[in-house]
Chain A
Amino acid sequence: MTEQKYTIKDFKSENEVRWCPGCGDYAIMNAVQRTMAEMGIPKEKFAVISGIGCSSRFPYYMNTFGFHTIHGRAAAVASGVKMANPDLSVWVVTGDGDAMAIGGNHFIHTIRRNMDLNIVLFNNRIYGLTKGQYSPTSDRGFRSKTSPFGTIEDPFVPGQLVVGARGTFFARTIDGNLKVSQSVFQQAAAHKGASVVEVLQNCVIYNNGVHKAITDPEHRADRQLILEQGKPMLFGAENEKGLIMENGHLKVVKIGENGITKDDILVHDATDLDPSVHLSLISMGLPDFPVAFGVIRNVDSPAYDTEMENQIKEVQQKRKITCVDDLLVSGNTWEVTGNGNGNGKGKTEECPDKKLK
């Protein structure tokens, strides 16, 4: 296969993009399209599957095979696509309502099976398409049209669900950061298995500024920890802050204070099979901790679609039944020949059996 040369334009469809002006989705789509253009895979091998919600309009704007399905079911539809043709690069575009609420069951089981899908989860902590109701990722006390006095429930943290479902890949990015987004999408695509990328996304209409505390340029450096494989977990304008593990808990420290040196800082290892540090990183939040971005977990485990193919191949190598005709006469059959078992002429009485047509 000769490597195809694509540009981002090859992945943009002619359909007019109808997200609200200023919506975070534009930037996410841009990063996904750039990633796909650089993957060196023929364009016809991409399939983009979505559920329902603002984010799920995504396939309309992609010049690839696309399927805009029903609420919550994108991961299940995409699983079918991948099993039917494991050669494809299958992307699931979903949101916090679609994946965490109505599609929660498919989300966890797809991850548990380690189906080789790239799942992009747009998290704006609100139902946008139905015009502003709280979602399963809205913070406790959040006021919305359906929680005018504040919610009385705690939110899901998507990465915790991923780890709980024995996920093999989890990354987090934010709509405005094209560099981090593209980097994590590339790694998600390269990962063989279920890759989940949570994208913190801003809904300009119903939840504007939901991630502002994290993105505010004035505090950004102190509030974002961009993780890189094999690198110390440093942040801050001068990389002067870092994370250490103390009594089994993460702790923010300043280099130079209390005798802390750069060597004391935790080094990120996304490939550690033990998910405990990954879970701690996923769970970090303001104000005590920065929010972790980048690829947090990336471990190897057999992917369902590959296992399915391998199992079929293995059984077929030893098979005795090679076609349906073999199957039909396998096991216990008997011959009616007219000698002994009946007269062999069939029935002549009235009301014969229905003939199949």
Chain B
Amino acid sequence: MKDAKVIQLEEVAIRFSGDSGDGMQLTGTLFSDATAFLGNDISTFPDYPSEIRAPQGTVGGVSGFQVQFGEKRISTPGDYAHVLIAMNPAAIKANAKFMKPGGTIIYDSDAFTEKNLKKANFTTDEPFLECDLQDYNKIAVPISSLTREGLKDFGLDNKSILRSKNMFALGLVCWMFNRPLDYIEEFLQSKFAKKPVVVESNIKVLHDGYNYGLNMQHMTPSYIVHPANIENGTYRNINGNQATAWGLLAAAEKAGLELFLGSYPITPATEILIALSGRKDLGVKTYQAEDEIAGITSAIGAAFAGDLAVTSTSGPGLALKSEAIGLAVMAELPLVIVNVQRGGPSTGLPTKTEQSDLMQALYGRNGESPVVILAATTPSDCFFYAFKAAKIALERMVPVILLTDGFLGNGSEPWKVPKVAELPSITPRIAKDASTFKAYKRDEKILARDWAFPGMKDFEHLIGGLEKNVSGSVSHDPENHQRNTDIREEKVQQVVDLVPDLETCGDEDGDVLVVGWGGTYGHLISTVRELREEGKNVSLAHFNYIKPLPANTREVFSKFKKIIVCELNMGQFASYLRNKVPGFNYHQFNKVKGLPFTVFELKQGINKLLEE
């Protein structure tokens, strides 16, 4: 006992890594949930390949899950991992670059065979040397053989036995970080309720891993991370895609409408379709269409017929939906389009994150085709921005694109759950007076038309993709087209009433204003906090509302000496700002690697600007 090393940390990042089939996503998720349950703030980042089962043991097939937790607020999953769990040599190779110098690597020594080293393209039998990891704390644990030994009396075949080795790793990590096992046991019991042998064998291996740590504590350091100071309330862990789905459900309930989702499976947005397909109990109509186009056009049909209509997709799918978005613009129907952005162009990097669909969302359609664009900033606030997207669509009769991304969609964090009663009201513009109704008659100020749908007596009318006059008849009149084009743009601009002012984190004026939008918030706020702690005069303005921009955007920008726009693309938001808020010198910090920013590189970039 006296040999045990106990290290107290404010925050710790752990990366679970192994073959796609090794169950690393589940291991990481269970550890994260158990950790959040204990009162730590957390942020997670699953990093997995696009192949379901790439060749076993290869670097391409490595699936990772990183979680950062701490006693203070956690805004990112961590740039680098303090602890890496590696189930095979490929996991070492794939993750060496994500390790914090001097960190701890726990690896399954049984998997470090000549064959596996070769599969991972190591040329010698010294993988750690090859990856320049000599100075790291490496702990060899024969995970496979210990798992096999622990389950020898269960009468299971070798394949089933090895499927449990992730539980050994999980048990060991739980010991290291002082996590009780009850939460995980409960999960296993309910998940495999119908297979008692699976429950028993997994729990056995979980405990074996935990006890291994306990017995071998002379070699494995144990860490203590105290609970975080967080606001009172009911909490749950939630990822961005689930939060998006639930925000839409809340909006439908608040608006008194049925929810319709037309969608086609696409990584990393599919989970929204999955989450809503399971909610028949709340009356959701989900439609897995034959393609992306039918996904959105069925939603447009549902919007015409009076549902809160939504389509969900990722970049390539948004491209396929372009023409139909134009129809929704022209028909002036309420429609929410969720784009969980991924690396592009074309098929690109399906499982990786990027912010490169901003221009597509703004301009990727034929004709002058304005829509409202919102962007969520954290996994849990996807709930609120999905809700808000629906509110704007329904109250302003306009399509709204909600941009999230793979990092938000798959990443999770603890979330203080709201009450539906606390959410803003939603009042759809359902037409009331048939005698004065005309298809395109609109409110004089906000310019939204009224919504009348089939089944409403005496409201029969026609809408469509051709340019129309007020009553819905086709019009080729040049003046009418100019007027309607102006109106469609102005209608979107009028949404600014529903857009809160842009706030700065830090000071209202100063040397450098860091500007970001969408899913980079966690990394940007962490960066700005650290720089301020170092005494740097840096503040953050982060955008959730892209079109229209907050009314005070120019005013906020004007109080800073320098502005740097940081985004995971080649500078799309910066270009947009140059165009819409001209007169400032917008510096840029960009990255297109399919990965989130690191706080480290952001600090470097901003420090450089400070020194210029």
Chain A interface (Cβ within 8 Å of chain B)? Answer: 13, 15, 42-47, 49, 52, 59-60, 62-70, 73, 76-85, 87-88, 105-106, 109, 308, 311-312, 315-316, 319-325, 327-329, 331-338, 340-347, 349-354, 356-357
The answer, among A65, A332, A352, for a CB contact under 8 Å with B33, is A332
Would you call B559 an interface residue if the criterion is a C-beta within 8 Å of the partner chain's C-beta atoms? no
6 closest A-B pairs by CB: A80-B301, A68-B464, A341-B39, A84-B305, A80-B298, A346-B231
Contact B302 A84 (CB under 8 A): yes
> Could you tell me the distance in whole angstroms from the C-beta of A10 to the nearest C-beta in chain B?
10
Chain A contacts for B544, CB-based, 8 A: 354
Chain B contacts for A342, CB-based, 8 A: 39, 227-230
Contact B529 A84 (CB under 8 A): no
Q: What class of interface size applies to chain B in its complex with A? A: 35 or more
Given A76-B294, A316-B281, A337-B232, are A45 and B454 neighbors across the interface (CB < 8 Å)? yes
Contact A84 B258 (CB under 8 A): yes
Q: Residues 514-534 of chain B: 1 if any A CB is under 8 Å from the residue's CB, otherwise 0?
A: 000000010001001100100
Cα of A324 to Cα of B457 in the assembled complex, Å: 32
Would you call B540 an interface residue if the criterion is a C-beta within 8 Å of the partner chain's C-beta atoms? yes
Quick check: which of B402-410, B412-420, B562-570, B592-600 contacts chain A, the rest being far away? Answer: B412-420
Contact A77 B300 (CB under 8 A): yes
Contact B302 A59 (CB under 8 A): no
Contact B465 A323 (CB under 8 A): no
- In residues 318-370 of chain B, which contact A (Cβ within 8 Å)? 323-324, 326-327, 331
Contact B462 A316 (CB under 8 A): no
Nearest A residue to B300, CB-CB = A77
Chain B interface (Cβ within 8 Å of chain A)? Answer: 33, 36-39, 72-73, 183, 227-237, 246, 249-250, 253, 258, 260, 262, 279-283, 285, 287, 289-291, 293-294, 297-307, 309, 323-324, 326-327, 331, 377, 381, 384, 416-420, 453-466, 473-474, 500, 503, 505-506, 521, 525, 528-529, 532, 540, 542, 544
Cα of A96 to Cα of B298 in the assembled complex, Å: 21
> Could you tell me the distance in whole angstroms from the C-beta of B220 to the nearest C-beta in chain A?
26
Cα of A345 to Cα of B290 in the assembled complex, Å: 50
Cα of A66 to Cα of B331 in the assembled complex, Å: 11
Chain A contacts for B454, CB-based, 8 A: 44-47, 65, 81, 85, 88
The answer, among A73, A315, A345, for a CB contact under 8 Å with B229, is A345
> Could you tell me the distance in whole angstroms from the C-beta of B560 to the nearest C-beta in chain A?
16
Given A329-B234, A331-B236, A345-B231, are A88 and B305 neighbors across the interface (CB < 8 Å)? yes
> Could you tell me the distance in whole angstroms from the C-beta of B67 to the nearest C-beta in chain A?
16
Given A64-B460, A85-B454, are A347 and B229 neighbors across the interface (CB < 8 Å)? yes
Nearest B residue to A78, CB-CB = B301
Contact A343 B229 (CB under 8 A): yes
Cα of A308 to Cα of B540 in the assembled complex, Å: 48
Chain B contacts for A346, CB-based, 8 A: 229-232
Contact A81 B304 (CB under 8 A): yes
Cα of A338 to Cα of B544 in the assembled complex, Å: 32
The answer, among A44, A80, A344, A357, for a CB contact under 8 Å with B455, is A44
The answer, among B234, B301, B304, B503, for a CB contact under 8 Å with A334, is B234
Contact B232 A344 (CB under 8 A): yes
Contact A63 B460 (CB under 8 A): yes
Contact B297 A77 (CB under 8 A): yes
Cα of A335 to Cα of B465 in the assembled complex, Å: 51
